[in-house]
Amino acid sequence: MSSTGDQAATALLAGVAERFEDSTDFTIGIEEEYQLLDPEKLSLVNRFEELRDSATGPFADRLAGELISSEIEVKTGKNDTFASAARELVEGRLQLIELAEQLGIAIGITGVHPFSPWQEQEIINTPHYARVERELGYIAWVNNTWSIHLHVGVKGADRAIAVSTALRTVLPELLALSANSPVYLGRDTRLHSARTQVFTKSFPRCGIPEPYGDWSEYASFVELLARTEAIVESTQIWWSVRPHHSYGTVEIRICDGQTDATEALAVTALALACTAAFCRDYDNGRTLPMDSRAIIEENLWRAQRYGLEGDMIRLVDGSVHSMPQAINDLLTWSEGQHGPLGLEPFLAPIEKMLSEGNGAQRQRALLASTGDPAAIVTESIRRTRDSAHEALDAMKVGATQ
Nearest to 153 by CA among 238, 275, 271: 275
Instruction: Measure the CA–CA gap between 123 and 133, rounded to whole angstroms.
Output: 7
Position 1 scores a pLDDT of 45
Rounded distance between C-alpha atoms, residue 229 and residue 246, angstroms: 20
For residue 379, give the CATH number of its domain.
Answer: 3.30.590.20
Which of 323, 296, 325, 297 has the alpha carbon at shortest distance from 308?
A: 323
Quote the domain boundaries for residue 180. Answer: 3-400
Q: Which of 136, 90, 26 lies closest to 263, judged by CA?
A: 90
Of 205, 350, 208, the C-alpha closest to 271 is 350
Number of C-beta neighbours around residue 272 at 10 A? 26
Q: Looking at the 3D structure of the chain, how many domains does it have?
A: 1
At position 118, the amino acid (one-letter code) is W
Return the pLDDT at 11: 87
DSSP character string of 1-25? --HHHHHHHHHHHTTHHHHHHT--T
Task: Give 10-residue mean pLDDT values along the chain (401 residues).
Answer: 67 94 98 98 98 96 97 98 98 98 98 98 94 95 98 98 98 98 98 97 96 96 95 95 97 98 98 98 97 97 98 96 98 98 98 98 98 98 98 84 63
Q: Compute CA distances 230 → 48, 161, 221, 298, whole Å.
A: 29, 21, 11, 27
pLDDT at 9: 80
Q: What H or E segment, with its residue span, contains residue 321?
A: strand 320-322
- In this prediction, residue 209 carries a pLDDT of 97
Return the pLDDT at 3: 61
Compute how many other C-beta atoms are within 10 angstroms of the C-beta atom of residue 177: 29
